[in-house]
Amino acid sequence: MKIAMLVPGLRPHDAVSNDVRGMTAVLRGDGHEVAVFAPHAQGVDEVVRAPEELSAWLDHRDGVLVYHYCVGWDLALNAMRKTRARRVLRYHNITPPEFFTDWSPGYVSACEEGRRQLDDFAALGCDLYLGDSPYNNEDFISRGIGTERCEVLAPFHEIEHLLDLPAKSERIPQGSPLWLAVGRISPNKSYLELVDAFAASFPAARGDAPHLLIIGKLDPNLARYGEALQARIAAHGLEQHITILQDANGAELRAAFEHATAFVMLSKHEGFCVPLVEAMALGTPIVALASSAMPSTIGDAGIVWDCDEPPLIATTVARIGADAQLRSTLRERGRARFANTFANPVLGQRLRLIMQRFASP
């Protein structure tokens, strides 16, 4: 079977790019002819075709077009409208624009356009709506798409590669209770609220003062949010207790997860959240807010609260640090959930089952 993967771009260590490459590898391994179409690609070992070649390459009903929807893109919408092939909308979610209202007009416009196309893709009546999470699929079920046309497949990832790396800890804070957060520095990730929660840990701290390590890049277009984050840190007088690494490599990321007392994620909006799965795989206890897709991603592998009140989060992290049995239980649950639910071979088996609906009778 011919299968076309259509994606806005490919680049290393990007969640959507990793998913495209993982799906492609599984389908090619099963004997399908798979081509990736993208306007640009950099630093990846995948031959990429121009999107303008798509209609000529995939010109019959027996083929399948998989579009990885993560931004507003008129070219992809038109391609899905015109193709004779069967259509799969692989939905990675688009952050609602209101998260960026105070920070970036450009982000607001881009998110508005991306979410505006939800109605267009629902109107297409694609053969399959394939969400990263049940939360993502709700965007289409709420627009009238029947559940029989919706499936969930967690995104493919590079975590097995991360597990093979040696830990490199020179820049990772040592010797203190360590809070860890991983993800781009963005308003929906709630880093201001995370700093407030971390600050609440100090009145009750005994012995070594805790440290917060944030691993994530700041888009220059969100510079105002970065400035607000630094101001919040200064307002709490925590400059010596918080480290932000925007250029951490894989070995440092592994070391951070291994040293962390807890991985703390208070994000208000996630379509899946791959760092949660990284924490599971590396045995890092998770403390998270029950927002968006995070409860379905975490399952029983972490402590999930319905609110992010600073004393509650601070007390939870302190309890994990003090209770060896609790730490052990969370580590075991996390590693088991990764192995049984999110390891790439497991995702490959799930993808094969889903794609059986497109097999010739």
Domain contains 347: no
For residues 301 and 244, membership in a common domain is answered with: yes
CATH, residue 208: 3.40.50.2000
Mean pLDDT of 77-83: 96
Domain contains 104: yes
Chain mean pLDDT for the chain: 96
pLDDT at residue number 59: 82
Query: Which residues, 6+ apart, have CB-to-CB distance to 133 below 8 Å?
Result: 93, 152, 154, 271, 272, 293, 296, 297
Tens of pLDDT, residue by residue over 116-131, are: 999 999 999 999 999 9
Domain contains 348: no
Mean pLDDT of 42-61: 92
Strand order in the sheet with 86-91: 48-49, 33-37, 2-6, 64-69, 86-91, 128-131, 150-152
Q: Identify the band that residue 206 occupies on the pLDDT scale cut at 50, 70 and 90.
A: low
pTM of the complete model: 0.96
pLDDT at residue number 18: 97
pLDDT at residue number 352: 97
Tens of pLDDT, residue by residue over 101-159, are: 999 999 999 999 999 999 999 999 999 999 999 999 999 999 999 999 999 999 999 99
Domain contains 200: yes
pLDDT at residue number 360: 66
Q: Which of 156, 189, 215 is the last residue of a domain?
A: 156
For residues 250 and 140, membership in a common domain is answered with: no
List the domain range (segments joined by +) for residue 130: 2-156
For residues 188 and 319, membership in a common domain is answered with: yes
Q: Which of 156, 176, 208 is the last residue of a domain?
A: 156
Q: Work out the burial of residue 228: count CB atoms within 10 Å of its CB; fewer than 13 is exposed, 13-18 middle, 19 or more buried.
A: middle
For residues 168 and 152, membership in a common domain is answered with: no
For residues 89 and 22, membership in a common domain is answered with: yes
- Say whether 215 sits in a helix, a strand or coil: strand
For residues 124 and 243, membership in a common domain is answered with: no
Tens of pLDDT, residue by residue over 10-20, are: 999 999 999 99
Domain contains 360: no
Q: Which of 139, 156, 173 is the last residue of a domain?
A: 156
Q: Identify the band that residue 314 occupies on the pLDDT scale cut at 50, 70 and 90.
A: very high
Domain contains 267: yes
Q: State how far the alpha carbon of 73 is from the alpha carbons of 7, 9, 228, 350, 360, in Å.
A: 10, 11, 31, 28, 31
Measure CA 29 to chain center. 25
Instruction: Please give the tally of structural domains in the chain.
Output: 2
For residues 170 and 287, membership in a common domain is answered with: yes
For residues 189 and 75, membership in a common domain is answered with: no
Tens of pLDDT, residue by residue over 235-261, are: 999 999 999 999 999 999 999 999 999
For residues 330 and 183, membership in a common domain is answered with: yes
Strand order in the sheet with 178-182: 242-245, 211-215, 178-182, 262-265, 286-289, 303-305
